């Protein structure tokens, strides 16, 4: 039977068995349905199943396995590495499963698999509550949470995965199961940092926290002051409460000048954050400062303009224990080779509550204070620009930082080819995570997700000897 016939039969069966919208390559709505944030990803799935309920997910998984179609899962669609799309495969698309409900008395939100940070934040804000999110509103909450989830509330409330209370998961064998600290505990452990390697997570329950407004904004300094600003920041933050969150970033201004921004947020009591903001402003000679009391949703929205859909993207990631003259010089030198005004280097400070979670309690492999670097190359697509220079810019910075970096890196920000960094990123949790993979997905159905190096079987090792 030809591939075209297989896809046609699979599509007909799905339309008959589910409520989902089934889109085949070549359909009029294929291009907008396939679109993800990073348009540099060229993979063209054969079939996209836009699910409405967990039963649709189960049916799509069954069809993919029956007809041996490569499988991928799309959540919120903010996917830089292309994990959501498998060429000639079947996409389980959760992007229309966006329901968010709040149990205000329990301070818990139930979130479907396609909801974004902005949608979750908007749903719970009327109750004076927030969820632990990433740093912009367009990122899907479930994908962020499964991979760990750095964000501005991390010093006070931990990673997004630290706030996961339970999950509903469609396993590789098609079963829909629930997991938490009491039921299917090994699956629950594996989900908190192991990504989508174990099933399709159709909904999660997360802890909410009381934050109505934040004192937040941007303080911008010239790149020439980067070393003094970063060293001064380290001194300030050493005595700062966990209500203060600061994310430094090296970026380009509209006029082409290079700057270091401090994205600062105070989530504590009103009136107590101003002295800390004043100390940050005195770290150098600000070119611009814009700090005010705003909603958490507005804070997330401040960063959405930098990651507009439709551009092309490539990324690298490193972990740094702290700032030294050598690694700061390497960062500044890399920025001075900038190839696109949309690119930049973003630093997320892992501190506070996130460091107090025991290493083995979740998959996340580094619980010591550190900085996670996103080296993000973004460029406008054109016939004259194949993206090679921008990708090389990000790789060069990563390679130049390697001598100063901690082993491994944040799996959510590593590409599918970064196997060694990913393995080291899981640290002492890797072998247990690999056993969980063998238990819940022995055939590696969910291979289009964050990189999880699998131990070779005896047969695989023998085959390599004879290759």
Query: Where do the domains of the chain lie, and which CATH numbers do they carry?
Result: 3-93 (3.30.43.10), 100-210 (3.30.465.10), 214-421 (3.40.462.20)
- Tell me whether residue 72 is exposed, middle or buried, using C-beta atoms within 10 angstroms of its C-beta: 0 to 12, 13 to 18, 19 or more: buried
Identify the segments of the chain with pLDDT beneath 70.
1, 305, 455-467
pLDDT at 467: 35
What size, in residues, is the chain?
A: 467
Chain-centroid distance, C-alpha 138: 11
pLDDT at 461: 37
Within 8 A by CB and 6+ apart from 224, the residues are none
The token pair at 69 is: 């179609």
Separation of alpha carbons 351 and 240, rounded Å: 11
- Tell me whether residue 1 is exposed, middle or buried, using C-beta atoms within 10 angstroms of its C-beta: 0 to 12, 13 to 18, 19 or more: exposed
The token pair at 234 is: 């380290």
Pairing of strands 370-379, 108-112: unpaired
Sign, Cα dihedral of 227, 232, 238, 241: negative
Convert the pLDDT of each residue in 368-415 to its tens digit: 999 999 999 999 988 889 999 999 999 999 999 999 999 999 988 988
The beta-strand segments (E) located in 2-99 are 21-24, 47-50, 71-74, 90-93
430 contacts 376 by C-beta, under 8 angstroms: no
Within 8 A by CB and 6+ apart from 377, the residues are 313, 314, 315, 339, 340, 343, 387, 390, 391, 393, 394
pLDDT at 1: 65
Chain-centroid distance, C-alpha 436: 22
């Amino acid at each position: 039977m030809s591939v075209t016939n297989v896809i046609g039969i699979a599509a007909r069966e799905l339309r008959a068995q589910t409520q989902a919208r089934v889109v085949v390559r070549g359909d009029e709505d294929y291009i907008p349905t396939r679109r993800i944030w990073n348009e540099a990803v060229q993979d063209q799935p054969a079939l996209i199943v836009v699910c409405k309920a967990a039963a649709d997910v189960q049916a799509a998984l069954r069809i993919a396995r029956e007809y041996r179609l490569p499988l991928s899962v799309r959540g919120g669609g903010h996917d830089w590495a292309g994990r959501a799309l498998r060429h000639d495969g079947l996409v389980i698309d959760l992007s229309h499963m966006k329901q968010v409900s709040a149990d205000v008395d329990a301070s818990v939100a139930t979130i479907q698999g396609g909801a974004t940070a902005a949608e979750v934040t908007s749903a719970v804000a009327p109750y004076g509550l927030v969820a632990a999110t990433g740093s912009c509103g367009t990122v899907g909450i479930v994908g962020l949470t499964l991979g760990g989830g750095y964000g501005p509330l991390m010093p006070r409330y931990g990673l997004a995965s630290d706030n996961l209370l339970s999950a509903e998961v469609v396993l590789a064998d098609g079963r829909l199961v629930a997991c938490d600290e009491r039921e299917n505990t090994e699956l629950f452990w594996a989900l908190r940092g192991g990504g989508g390697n174990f099933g399709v997570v159709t909904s999660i329950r997360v802890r909410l926290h009381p934050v109505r407004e934040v004192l937040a904004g941007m303080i911008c300094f010239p790149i020439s002051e980067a070393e003094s600003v970063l060293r001064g920041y380290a001194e300030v933050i050493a005595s700062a409460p966990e209500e203060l969150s600061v994310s430094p970033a090296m970026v380009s201004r509209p006029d082409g000048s290079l700057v270091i921004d401090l994205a600062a947020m105070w989530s504590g009591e009103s009136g107590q954050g101003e002295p800390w903001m004043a100390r940050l402003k005195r770290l150098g000679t600000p070119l611009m400062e814009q700090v005010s009391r705003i909603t958490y949703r507005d804070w997330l929205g401040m960063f959405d303009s930098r990651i507009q859909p439709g551009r092309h993207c490539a990324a690298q990631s490193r972990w740094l224990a702290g700032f030294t003259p050598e690694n700061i010089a390497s960062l500044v030198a890399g920025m001075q080779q900038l190839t696109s005004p949309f690119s930049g280097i973003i630093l997320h400070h892992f501190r506070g509550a996130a460091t107090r979670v025991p290493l083995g309690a979740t998959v996340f492999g580094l619980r010591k204070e550190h900085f996670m670097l996103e080296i993000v190359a973004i460029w406008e697509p054109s016939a004259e620009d194949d993206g090679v220079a921008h990708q090389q810019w990000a790789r060069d910075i990563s390679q130049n930082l390697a001598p100063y970096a901690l082993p491994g890196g944040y799996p959510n920000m590593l590409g599918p080819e970064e196997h060694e960094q990913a393995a080291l990123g899981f640290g002492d949790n890797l072998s247990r995570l690999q056993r969980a993979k063998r238990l819940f997905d022995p055939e590696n159905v969910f291979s289009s997700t964050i990189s999880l190096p699998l131990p070779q079987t005896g047969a695989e090792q023998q085959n390599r000897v004879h290759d």
